[in-house]
Amino acid sequence: MVEVNSDTAKGSASRLNWLMSALLVSIFLTQVDQTIVSTALPTIVSELNGLEHMSWVFTIYMLCSTVVMPIAGKLSDIFGRKGFYMFGLAVFLLGSALCGFAGSMAELIVYRGIQGLGAGFVIPITFTLVFTIMPKEKAGKYQTFYMSVFALSSIVGPSLGAVITQNLDWRWNFYINLPIGLYVFIVLNRTLKEKSASKARPSVDAKGAALLAITTLSILLALKLGGEQYAWLSAPVIGLLLVGAAGLALFVAVERRVREPILPLQLFRVRSISGTLAATFLQGVILYGALLFIPLFVQGSMGGDVGDAGNTLTPMMFSMMLGATMSNVLMKRWTYRAGMIASMSLAGAGMLGMAYMPLDAQMWKIALVMLVVGIGIGILMPLAQMAVTYGAEDRFKGVATSTVGFSRSVGGVFGSAVLAAIVNGSLSTAVRRHAAELGAASPDFANPQQLLAADSSLPEPTAALLRQALGESVQLGFWFLALAAVLGIVAAACSGGARFRIDSEADLRSAAKA
């Protein structure tokens, strides 16, 4: 198996700093591209048309990156990190260039998928490289940096996209990746060294990789389409879920037999890994649920504008960086289990605060609650990476690390789908209950987005009634997120007593010098 040469970490501080800065920049690029186009989409739609397909500009990026993450992690375990990292970066930059040249919405969606495939290689291998290159006692500090960049990219993405679109052109939201990505490519090519590959012919689990991709894509598509473009009990959604279930059964059967599985099932027998991944899945439910429905609550129920919605999320994203910093300290004193319980307790407390939030509350109270939620989510981010990576054997570190981001993304899609079903179902019930007061147009208000669009043109009594109904529906969804946090505490409690330790003599000597 190819491994990163340890001399990289022991070489000059200058070379190491160049290497780590390039990896930080690559994480920023791949994460900011999830949100940078959000403020440019109205301009893109006006030029390319295809309003009905607009949401797929986001969705396809997430789907493609999520599907390939565990596959990329395993391939990097077998063949080495550098080659697949550089491949993923090249694919990401190719997708960026193509997005800039897109002449239709269909082309843009396809090219965004190519971008997502590249990001699916870059993101997990970046985190694996940190653990492989850095001395163990410094890995937590660098994971904190990376998780802070992860949170920061979510904050600046929409604003950066707006500035670029207003002052240049929407296509430069993609072109800007090219010079920055070229910098990363050159630095990594010069500073990242690997040992020579083994002469033994590696075994690749092609069947497992294909089944994993089919299973993940089918289930995520079903969750995305259900309740939006198709009813949950419609043939397309049921069909996708059945394909996913069959694919999962076949995948498990294949992984039990092959010599080098694409996703080793023995990883899940380690309590610190299985418990952490379950908690990370539930963290994704909370994180993406908050990102989607806090703005809806502020705008649709509390009467805030777009600026108010953004201002309530900003404290959460900044406090995620604070939580990540706290995590680096807590890991040295607590077990992983204790840190996860603290993380989920804070996130759950914040969601309960939102469930009880009065609709006439001042915006600073929302921001304060989001601060608590962000700290809770931030604590788990580096902690999860450390618990899973150090709980796995060296030969599985790449695929183990990749499962953290994979679990978070799948949890986000699952949670968003369930949350949307809860909110839409509750709102529909409320609209039917008040049909006499709302008049003939009442069915149109069962969709939260239609309600937002019509709010300013409605008589005040009708608008107030609908805001109340939407607020109660979204707060029911916040109860679901609080329940996810409780389940996260249960998952953490089952994760065993593993903790971060500096075990080897080399680690101890390095720690003494730090």
d(CA 60, CA 38): 14
What average pLDDT does the segment 366-394 reach?
89
Domain count, the chain: 3
pLDDT at res. 386? 86
Tell me the pLDDT tens digit for each residue of 2-14.
344 444 444 566 7
User: Tell me, what's the pLDDT at 508?
Assistant: 34
Query: 249 with 307, same domain?
Result: no
Q: Render pLDDT for 485-510 as a digit per residue (tens, 0 to 9).
A: 999 999 999 988 888 776 543 443 34
pLDDT tens digits for range 399-438: 888 888 889 988 988 888 888 888 888 887 877 776 666 5
In a 13 Å sphere around the CA of 41, the CA atoms on its Cβ side amount to 19
**Residues 255 and 291 occupy one common structural domain:** no
pLDDT at 430: 76
Q: Is residue 337 part of a domain?
A: yes
If 0-12 CB within 10 Å is exposed, 13-18 middle and 19+ buried, where does residue 412 land?
buried
Q: Cα separation of 464 and 351, whole Å?
A: 24
Beta bridge partners of 194: 4
Give pTM, 2 decimals.
0.83
Comparing 113 with 199, the larger pLDDT belongs to 113
Please answer whether residues 139 and 131 qualify as being in contact, where contact means their C-beta atoms are separated by less than 8 angstroms: yes
Residue 230: phi and psi, rounded to 5, are -135, 155
Confidence tier at 17 by pLDDT (50, 70, 90): confident
CATH number, position 142: 1.20.1250.20
Contact 447, 318 (CB under 8 A): no
Looking at the structure, do residues 75 and 115 belong to the same domain, yes or no?
A: yes
3-state secondary structure of 4: strand
Q: Are 117 and 202 in contact (CB under 8 A)?
A: no
The token duo for 429 is 């019930």
Give helix then strand counts, H and E, for the chain. Answer: 20, 0
Same domain for 420 and 313? Answer: yes
pLDDT at 188 over 80: yes
441/463 same-domain check: yes
Is residue 276 situated within a structural domain? Answer: yes
β-sheet bridge partners, residue 4: 194
Which residues form the domain of 152? 1-192
Same domain, yes or no, for 437 and 296? yes
Residue 214 and residue 180 share a domain: no
Amino acid at 512: A
| Alpha carbon distances (Å) from 495 to 9, 329, 498 | 31, 20, 8
